[in-house]
Amino acid sequence: MRIGIVGVGYVGLPLAVAFAEEGLDVVCFDPDEKRMTALAEGRSYVEDVPDATLAALGERLRPTTVAESLRECGAIIVCVPTPLTNSREPDLSYLTEATAEVATALQPGTLVVLESTTYPGTTREQVGPALEAATGLAVGQGFHLAFSPERIDPGRTDYSVRTTPKVVGGITATCAGRAAELYERICDEVVVVSTPEAAELAKLLENIFRSVNIALVNELSQLCDRLGIDVWEVIDAAATKPFGFMRFDPGPGMGGHCLPVDPFYLAFKAREADFYPEFIELAGKVNQGQPAFCVTRIEAALNDAGKPVRGSRILVLGASYKGGIGDTRESPALKIIRMLRERGGEVSYHDPHVAALPELGLESAPLENAVAEADLVAIVTAHPELDYAAIVREAQLVVDFRGVTRELGGTITL
């Protein structure tokens, strides 16, 4: 079988590599010419996939910007972004375009699997009918259709595509069986659920669970600030309980492709059913407000040092949404930088994984000079390769939103 991957980004490329490493030929379709040129030259643009890995696969990866190349594939997996609109509603434009591209190449008997995170009903109510209308083929008979949520966690090394269980839900039992057979080639465990809707909602639940618990500890951090209690000490103490407690740590807010987005996808679908998930929406509100709370902590720290925000040199450490990667999507660091600038701060940043922030007109500053020159250093993203002991020694003032300098002294933590 030849596999087609539609959307070869942080999800699609590791998936393509996993199939190619099992000896399958993989057609990598993406309209981004720069990506496909890089892939053809053996240059990876995804941090979790080294160039050496691509080199070892040789011609088993076939990058293309022509959807027609998907015609020769027995299975086509769609891995395109599903972001939010400016009004915080689901934006399925990428998925709509991808579905149209797949339709031009869809052959009888082909398996189509959607991996893009979305709300329950998308596979059955939108993707399926669109493919049927464009091809004249009936889902479950002329072609097979399933949903299998991506579970890629950028920068993670303890779990891989193979060792992370794969959830699959098909329009029919045959569709589910075909999808399970496909993923059994690259995953040690495949979990088949009864419908695509169950698989779609399972993905949302995974991330909303994290979102709600992060909101809880973020709100607790704000309360601890009012009460003068160390939130990290409280969490450390609670985490000693061997049952009934799962540790979550506070921070400057949520970022990335999933956690800030998924609650809005579920809330959108819930409203269609005349149901209002107030608990979930409240968690989103708390997390969205956390960067503003961090800015007030920076203001207070500068004020205690006899300095206003206006005119102060503030170094933000970390621009990506989490440590060890360069992904800045929905990163709270960008929001913090904007708010500090609005207050007149002279803001710079350093991030070993993010060379520039074109949307802010900034480039990553050399660390040593930037720390020495700053009136305040704000640790927003905890990259493991940074020497925080040296930063604390050299900085005039440090505000730590990740708790990585708690034992070093001379810092103000969240």
pLDDT band at 70; cut points 50, 70, 90: very high
Predicted confidence (pLDDT) at residue 362 exceeds the cutoff of 90: yes
Residue 225 CB neighbour total at 10 angstroms: 16
Query: Which candidate, 43, 36, 47, places its Cα nearest to that of 154?
Result: 47
pLDDT of residue 320: 96
User: What are the φ/ψ torsions at residue 395 (nearest 5 degrees)?
Assistant: -85, 150
Task: Sort strands 362-363 and 356-357 into parallel, antiparallel or unpaired.
Answer: antiparallel
In this model, does residue 382 exceed pLDDT 90?
A: yes
Cβ distance 192 to 125 under 8 Å?
no
User: What is the overall mean pLDDT for the chain?
Assistant: 95
pLDDT digits over 210-219, tens only? 999 999 999 9
Place of tokens 């990163």: 331
Dump pLDDT digits (tens) for 293-341.
999 999 999 999 999 999 999 999 999 999 999 999 999 999 999 999 9
User: Which pLDDT score is estimated for 226?
Assistant: 94
CB hemisphere CA count around 212 (13 angstroms): 13
pLDDT in tens, 97-150: 999 999 999 999 999 999 999 999 999 999 999 999 999 999 999 999 999 999
To 10 degrees, what angle do helices 196-227 and 278-304 make?
Answer: 30
Which pLDDT score, from 0 to 100, does residue 103 have? 97
In order of their start, the domains of the chain are: 3-193 (3.40.50.720), 214-413 (3.40.50.720)
Radius of gyration (C-alpha) of the chain in whole angstroms: 23
Q: What is the pLDDT of residue 109?
A: 97
Residues 183 and 138: their CA atoms lie apart, in Å, by 23
**One-letter amino acid for residue 46 of the chain:** V
Mean pLDDT computed over 13-39: 96
Please give the order of strands across the beta sheet that includes 111-114: 61-64, 26-29, 3-6, 75-78, 111-114, 144-147, 166-170, 190-193
Contact status, residue 168 vs residue 185, Cβ threshold 8 Å: no
Is it the case that residue 86 has pLDDT exceeding 90? no
**Average pLDDT, stretch 380-401?**
96
pLDDT value of position 340: 98
Angle between helices 196-227 and 231-238 (to 10 degrees): 130
Cα gap 311→399, rounded to integer Å: 18
Spell out the residues 6+ positions from residue 31 whose beta carbon is closer than 8 angstroms to its own. 65
Task: Please state, in angstroms and rounded to a whole number, the distance separating the CA atoms of residues 261 and 210.
Answer: 12
Distance CA(245)–CA(198), nearest Å, equals: 27
Residue positions annotated with a catalytic role: 258
Q: What is the number of other CB atoms lying within 10 angstroms of the CB of residue 66?
A: 12
135-172 pLDDT, tens digit per residue, is: 999 999 999 999 999 998 888 888 999 999 999 999 99
